Amino acid sequence: MFFKKPRERKIQNLEKQVEHWNTSLDDLKIKSSLDENITIIKKLFENMDMMRYKTIQMKGKSEKRYFLAFCDGVVDSEIINTHIVKPLMTLTPTGGDSLLEALLSSVVQVGESKIVDNFKNVVENVTYGDTILFAEGCNQAAILNTKHFALRSISEPDNEKILGGPREGFTESLTQNLSQIIRRLRTHEFKTKFITLGRITQTSICLCYIDSVVDKGVLQELFRRLEQIDIDGVLEENYISENIRDNRYSTFRTTGYTERPDVVVGKLLEGRIAMLVDGSPLVFTAPYFFIENFQSNEDYYYSFYYTSFSRFLRICAFFLTVAVPGFYLAVVAFHQEMLPVQLLMKLALERQSVPLPAAIEAVIMLLVFDILRETGMRMPSNVGHALSIVGALVIGQSAVEASLVAAPMIIVVAATGITGLLIPKLNAPIIFWRILILLMSATFGFYGLTIGLSLLFIHMSNLTSFGVEQLSLPGSFQFQNIKDIFIRAPWFKMVERPRSLTRNRVRQSGGEVRQSGGDERG
Amino acid sequence: MVKRFLICLLLVAMVLLLGGCWNYKGLDQLNIVLGIAVDFDKEANQFNITYEVADQASAGKNTMIKSRIVKSQGKTLLDAARNAKRKEADKLFFGSTNILVLSRDIALEMGIQPVIDWFLRDGECRETMHVALSQEDTAEAILQRSGQMSGIVSINLHDILREDRSIVASTRNVKLYELYDILELRNSAVLPAIHKAEENADQQIAELNGIAILQGDRLKGFLTPEETKYLLFLENIIKSGVLTLSAKSEKTDDISLEIFDNKTKKSFAYNQDKIVVKFETRTHVVIDENHSKLDMMDPEVIKQIEKAGEEMLEKNLRDLISKIQHEFQTDIFGFGEMIHKKDLKLWKQLEPSWKEIYPTLEVDVKSKLIIRDSAFIK
């Protein structure tokens, strides 16, 4: 061939352009020529063999060509066959301003559809299970909802088990998750704002709040921070949370997360904002109080006597798990005179034949415990009892009988480990602070322990979550605020919402409600 | 920024290092001293010190921890303590010492001040250890175990001393720092006295035997356990104990009264160069034992017993005061301190010749005994 047809040349040029546009599809508008559009889309999805294309030729008085593109695996082929392809072949479009609108209104039998004019939207939607319909002579395309994914069914989340109460948990589907929330909030004041994050993943993210309760300042701040994120992918809530939370280097999380719809609704009702990320069952909540680490949804479903006690246990557990190894070491290695004589003699007897110094022993045993814990989490469940044999027999019993480890140390490590497991949300900070305090105690005794704990408290009281203090200090003490801290007050006493979260405080309009308009946010 | 960081680092380092308590010592390297007995060898001119230490080597996992005796000599107490390290693998640890027994000779000839000085001055010694005086020839004898006696002597003695006041009222326990304070304040003190009582032929057991009275830091004499009880009355620290008496003023006591509560008021009156010190005791008791065959349901009988008890108490208290005033001539009740506190002007006059005035003070004792119930259900 010595010359090419002008049309072919044009298409070759187009392919080059597509390569150039690949990075910024925003500018790539849909052409009015169907062939050009076909070329562009085939070039865009070159080597992507999941894509399916279909050209439909209408013979008749008006000869029309349609082009369908969809991605295999995420579409419902039943819908495509019977409600898109079949009508396109048999029916004639009528009415509408353009051909596409006519098709949507009179031919295609799909509930959700929209018309777009650039390839960016086309690409985003076709990979999410939609079918794209191009029509000859239209510089637009129709996006038809044919989504169909394999989804996990709703089940109780494994890491937030409760004895009684709703057993639903979130799944990986954003719409399913939203449905679980909206079912519990049947009001127009429940707002959901969608945004998209992730250059490549284009993940849908939904911000939920209750309009009349939420603090608008916090909401604005959240939007501001979200806008600054530029990341290639968002697979889970933590991708965002680590980017936008206060005290980003802190070992403590200053944002919350949960897998339970009832928890999310409870938090929304207190004026918090929830963020759902498509593809992740974890839902982000903010602002986050420090005490929320110790709260459980069960607290609100059971007798307040019982749950106040268990909350007290959880708070104690935090201090125990952080300080017990350090305390033991300080007593054993520095301040022996603090122990009652009988206990001192017993401990000394146990330590008599142990070769390692107590400090090294403590560090090793804590590491061993963490290794066991990590193994328990990672290993396949059918080799589970191997771990218990190694853990209980080899380390617990044999090490003590062989006098490699002192028995009191095993007790200390066990107490530390068990209390640590009581508050799973504080896993990360606990490990670091425990070791820090242990090292301080090993070097300076009680003096070090005191300094370590002081550092911990100073750090904790400096934490904020979207500008709201995580730990309310005595300076901003409010009686109504502490009803849900160390104890869980009975519901008839919790008449106000937390003051630092919202200005709309009336939770229950009973006798004890005091609503003041002043700005007392702390 | 770098400068600020360095300054912070410096401050943190200073805070950490200048705190000054960071002696890491392993629990397995401790030789836990439970009790100390101090004797002075006049011929060799050195201290003989006996330590009762916890014996970890002989104890198994399931047996009780026993003790052993370590002895050391030295020109001073610290010298002796350090000399012990010449034969012991682990350094002696004084942080958990229960009891310090001083020999009678030290209290008589040398004074106890030089001995307790080291225990107070040394950083490691426990200031709350009990101090006692041995009535045997040596202090060592108290800690030495004889025969089949089980348990650790020092810990036993510590528990006996601590609980005595709330059960028997036969002695007055004194902790090391209290001893020092009271010597500073009153220039006299009391110490519990311990002797060895014969249990059977080959077994002697350390037993509390009243108190020792010290003037300055020298021993003046001993009080029997019975006398000590009345001393505790006068010091207003008696918690419990038994009063025995005869309701019909016969020779053998036939009624036991258990003391429930006692309040003693100490006051003085001064007129025309005469000082009268007044003690008023008010004691609640219950009848706990009755062999007298008297009818305890009869209010008249109760009154009679109360009266007999008051008389008995007053007599014993008076005897005790006079013994201390005249025989020992020590102001262990703190009469001088009382006058000093209440009437400074008077004290200024009396102070120079207080030593002569003290034995001549007139003391008035008034006792009130209230029988609360007869502890008997009919």
What is the rounded CA–CA span in Å between residue A214 and residue A272? 6
Q: pLDDT of chain B along its 378 residues, tens only?
A: 789 889 988 887 777 777 655 577 778 788 899 999 999 998 999 999 999 998 877 766 667 788 889 999 999 999 999 999 898 888 888 888 999 999 999 999 888 988 889 999 888 888 899 999 999 999 998 888 765 556 788 888 998 898 888 888 888 889 999 999 988 888 888 899 999 888 777 778 888 899 999 988 889 899 999 999 999 989 888 888 888 888 777 778 888 888 988 999 999 888 877 889 999 999 999 888 888 777 878 888 888 889 989 999 999 999 999 999 888 888 888 888 888 898 898 889 888 888 888 888 889 999 999 988 776 665
User: Nearest C-alpha of chain A: how many angstroms from B49?
Assistant: 21
> What is the DSSP code string of A422-437?
T-GGGHHHHHHHHHHH
Spans of all domains in chain A? 6-144, 158-288, 304-465
What interhelical angle do A427-444 and A304-333 show, nearest 10? 30
Residue stretches of chain A with pLDDT short of 50 = 1, 513-522
Looking at this predicted complex, what is its ipTM? 0.80
Q: Which residue has the tokens 């680490």?
A: A293
* Chain A / chain B CB contacts < 8 angstroms: 78
What is the nearest CA distance from B18 to chain A, expressed in angstroms?
11
Q: Are A412 and A362 in contact (CB under 8 A)?
A: yes
Closest CB from B22, B23, B28 relative to A351: B28
Nearest chain A CA: its distance from B147 CA (Å): 23
Q: Tell if the CB–CB gap between A359 and B24 is shorter than 8 Å.
A: yes
Closest CB to B27: pick one of A351, A443, A445: A351
B21:A451 CB<8 A: no
Query: What is the per-residue DSSP string for B251-276?
Result: SS--EEEEEEEEEEEEEEEEETTEEE
Cβ within 8 Å, pair B28-A445? no
Residue ranges of the domains in chain B? 28-223, 230-373
Give the C-alpha separation, A408 to B30, whole Å: 17
Q: Are A344 and B96 in contact (CB under 8 A)?
A: yes
Rounded mean pLDDT of chain A? 85
Q: Is A341 on the interface with B (CB under 8 A)?
A: yes
Which pTM was predicted?
A: 0.81
**DSSP-derived 3-state class of residue A259:** coil
Q: DSSP for B37-67?
A: EEEEETTTTEEEEEEEEEE-SS--SSSPPEE
In eight-state DSSP terms, residue A75 is B
Residue from the list A336, A442, A443 with its beta carbon closest to the beta carbon of B27: A336
C-alpha atoms less than 13 angstroms from C-alpha of B203 in its C-beta half-sphere: 7
Nearest residue of A to residue B64, measured between CA atoms: A346
Give CA–CA dist A256/A274, Å, rounded: 9
pLDDT tens profile A21-76: 555 677 778 888 888 888 888 888 888 888 889 888 877 666 778 899 998 888 88
Tell me how far apart the alpha carbons of residues B204 and B143 are, in angstroms, rounded to a whole number: 11
Min distance A472 CA to chain B CA atoms (Å): 27
Please give the CATH topology (third level) of the domain spanning B230-373: GMP Synthetase; Chain A, domain 3 (3.30.300)
Question: Is the preceding omega at residue A287 within 30 degrees of 0, hence cis?
Answer: yes
Question: Is A351 an interface residue toward B (CB < 8 Å)?
Answer: yes
What is the rounded distance in angstroms from the CA atom of residue A469 to the CA atom of residue B232?
59
| Nearest CB to B32 within list A348, A448, A451 | A348
Rounded to whole angstroms, how far apart are CA atoms A205 and A195? 5
